Structure 1
Amino acid sequence: MEKGINQRKTEHIRLCLTDNVEGVGKSTGLEGISFLHNALPEINFDDIDLTARFLDKPLNAPFLVSSMTGGSEMAAEINQNLGAAAEEKGWAVALGSTRALLESDAHKKSFLIRRQAPHVPIIANLGAVQLNYGYGAEEAQQIVDKTEADSLVLHLNSLQEAVQDGGDLNFENLLPKIEKIAESLDVPVGVKEVGFGIDGKVAQQLYNAGISYIDVAGAGGTSWSQVEKLRSRDPLKKAAAEAFNNWGLPTKDCLVSVRSRLPNVPLVASGGMKSGVDAAKAVTIGADIIGFARQLLQAATESDEAVAQVMEQIELEMKMAMFGIGVKNLQELKNTDRVNVMGRSLMEEMSDD
């Protein structure tokens, strides 16, 4: 019988599979970007090249299996299927929060997927707030060593913790602790949100503290305040969470804001990414790597073959978008003039300051 953190992880998976956990009325903003069709592309579809590099390793496509789960019996099969599919397709793969790995050996196999993914980048994951609850460089390095990860990403999830029953709420003075982790570990350290977004100002602070890459994890996909609202047994928190259905920075705005301040930092676009067309749009406004999560989750409960099939569709969609505007690699996609970005958001205005 699972309990505590392990039970919570299982509940998270089941809610994401069965319930509406997206923020109400909140989109990624990518619908405001459109491609200008090129009737004469002058390229061979078979020559379109999606290859990229991330964490000093080659990828067959600029894609990441975003952090989802770990630390439960159900998570073990999911992560092993994700790892095997990522290896087959040449995607990077990120684990869910690995705190459970240090607290118990009960479900450690849910985090140990290097056997399934021997060559692609694996990213371990820890909540940054845990740096105020007894975790430090030693524990972070243990996580990296146990998972044989190529990187550690620290996730920022303040609103999720505020809604979660028994959530960890002390986010005070985290930046110097994050800086110490970045200095101490023998692998690159990144930072990600969990679906409410990172803007350029915060990204600049993190980069100045030694963070190697930013995963914006913007609004428009899974809302973890919604997930925790569905889990909560506290009627006051459940009611208060309703006020945050529309909370967060759209993924598009995050990308533009961060890229305007940090022109060279590796930038991951996640948060509501649903297709290869979304991925292509994200690249045109600054993304280097695109993260997919819930789009892969159902398939990951079935088999690695099912996950690989979804991945193949995403890759095909991106290639078709590139064919439609006549670009044959990611550099040409970044520099294309066959894209129209509608309007300017508040976040984009802020990024000019």
Structure 2
Amino acid sequence: MSTSSRKLEHMQLCAQQQVESRKTGPGFEDVKLVHRALPEMDMDSVDISTSFLGKKLDAPFMIASITGGHPDTTPVNAALAEAAEETGIGIGVGSQRAAIEDPIQEESFSVVRDKAPNAFVYGNIGAAQVKEYGIEGAEKLVEMLDADALAVHLNFLQEAIQPEGDRDATGCIDAIEEICSIDVPIIVKETGAGISREDALLLKEAGVAAIDVGGAGGTSWAGVEVYRAKQRGDRISGHLGELFWDFGIPTIPSLIECRVSLPLIATGGVRTGLDIAKSLALGANLASAALPFVAPALKKGDSVKQRLELMFEELKVAMFLCGCPDIESLRTSSSVVLQGETLEYLDQRGFDIRDIELHSKLL
């Protein structure tokens, strides 16, 4: 199957099937924001604007990489980009590999910049492809979108399961370090299995500008591959996808793992403004999500914008109840309690919660 056809199939499955983690949650249920009964502020004055990698955003959120690479994905990316522009947030595109292989597919990506001329837009390519394309290829991807940043996605769980996957992970960190010399920031993002402290430190040493933890608990790309395997009668891929459906580090533990003094994006199971607030209180600079916007983007009208606006109202309520008038105070002054499986995970990994402050002022 061509890369272009596979991208369309992925989007359709995400819109039509249950592809979220089944047993592993992102960990938001283990995070308790300490309520301030006397917030001593006016909720109508809450300011959720922020900045990220030098770009001002009206809310600490991005629409994570979803699609592109097939003509039928062009209107979807257009709808997502229009919503990002109107709400003043960031947006990423799906892997641009299809456009490198077939330049006809470039419009399905460039439409994002056309519809969102002022938004923070990031390009996207897999780590395996970075080894192949190098600096010249990375610069072409940025030029395609007039991108503000380039994301390198790590998806070796999915690659290991799909029959056409690239399973050679050697040399990726060197390739990432090489492209960190281009003129835009490099974001490294996982796609649903999380990033450990060990790998976060490697990425920091390589010179990346930010890390998107992409934790387990949201969309399972192993799960997506189960549906693809069933369609083609692939018994082995189907078995592997079922076995590894919930594999990975959940979003909240991964967020703590990745606190290595780099800007962080919390992705993986973010579904509400309360999830955004919890992410920022634990050190994230932004949160992002993809799956909640796939079905709305396939509809006509303002469905994506309406979903975003609801999340941002939820965020404002959470900030008000924590006594935080702006994003900086949420990140540096809010109090957080961790419990349950997240606390147990962090304890076994050697993170002594008693000896660190959970908000980000010490990062």
Please tell me the TM-score bracket, short chain as reference: over 0.9
Q: Who is 1:180 aligned against?
A: 178
* Cα 1:191–1:246 shift into 2, 3 Å: same
- Please state how far the C-alpha of 1:240 moved relative to its aligned partner: 2.2
| Aligned length in residues | 346
Quick one: distance in 2 between partners of 1:69 and 1:269? 19
Moved over 6 A (4+): none
Once the two structures are TM-superposed, the CA of residue 37 in structure 1 deviates from its matched residue by 2.7
Deviation (angstroms), 1:306: 1.4
**Equivalent-residue separation in structure 1 for 2:114 and 2:243 (angstroms):** 44
**Matched residue SS, 1:53:** strand
TM-score by length of 2: 0.92
Deviation at 1:302, TM superposition (A): 1.6
Instruction: Tell me if 1:318 matches 2:312.
Output: no
Please identify, of 288-297 and 36-45, the stretch whose mean Cα deviation from structure 2 is larger: 36-45
Listed one character per residue, the Cα deviations across residues 78-124 of structure 1 (whole Å, up to 9, x for unaligned) are 11111111011010110000011111133322101212111111100
Give me the whole-angstrom Cα distance separating, in 2, the residues matched to 1:37 and 1:186: 43
1:348 and 1:131, CA in 2 relative to 1: closer, same or farther beyond 3 A? farther
Contact map agreement 2:3 2:97 (CA 8 A) in 1: no
Candidates 64, 75, 78, aligned match of 2:76: 78
- Residue 304 of structure 1: CA displacement? 5.9
**d(CA) in 2 for partners of 1:80, 1:348:** 44
Superposition map of 1:325-336 within 5 A: 325-336=322-333
1:155 aligned residue: 153
Q: Structure 1 residue 118 and structure 2 residue 117: aligned?
A: yes
Aligned to 2:219: 222
Question: How do 1:1-353 residues align onto structure 2 when only pairs under 5 Å count?
Answer: 4-112=2-110, 113-132=112-131, 134-183=132-181, 185-232=182-229, 233=232, 234-259=234-259, 262=260, 264-303=261-300, 305-343=302-340, 344-347=343-346, 349-350=348-349, 352=351
Which range moved further: 338-347 or 272-281? 338-347
The amino acid that maps onto 1:335 is T
User: What amino acid maps onto 2:236 in structure 1?
Assistant: L
Q: Partner amino acid for 2:22? A: V
- SS of the residue corresponding to residue 68 of structure 1 reads coil
Assess if the C-alpha contact under 8 Å between 2:225 and 2:237 holds in 1: no
CA contact (8 A) 1:254 1:347 kept: no
Q: Residue 46 of structure 2 contacts residue 326 of structure 2 at CA under 8 Å; is this kept in 1?
A: yes
Q: Structure 2: which amino acid aligns with 1:157? A: N
Matching residue's letter, 1:37: H
SS at match of 1:335: helix
After superposition, the CA RMSD in angstroms is 1.5
Mapped partners of 1:176, 1:351: distance in 2 = 28
Local SS of the residue matching 2:202: helix
Preserved contact between residue 219 and residue 269 of structure 2 (Cα < 8 Å): yes
For 1:46 and 1:123, how far apart are their aligned partners in 2? 31
SS in 1 for 2:337: strand
- Checking the alignment, whether the CA contact within 8 Å between 2:33 and 2:334 is kept in structure 1 is no
CA contact (8 A) 1:257 1:350 kept: no
**Deviations along 1:240-299, whole A, 9 cap, x unmatched?**
22211221100000111111xx1x311000011000000000111110010011111111
Of stretches 318-327 and 343-352 in structure 1, the one that deviates more from structure 2 is 343-352
* Contact 2:159–2:167 (Cα < 8 Å) also in 1: yes
Structure 2, gaps ≥5 residues long: 353-363
Q: Secondary structure at the match of 1:107?
A: helix
**TM-score normalised by structure 1 residue count:** 0.94
**SS of equivalent residue, structure 1 residue 115:** helix
Identity rate of aligned residues, in percent?
38
Deviation larger for 120-129 or 336-345: 336-345
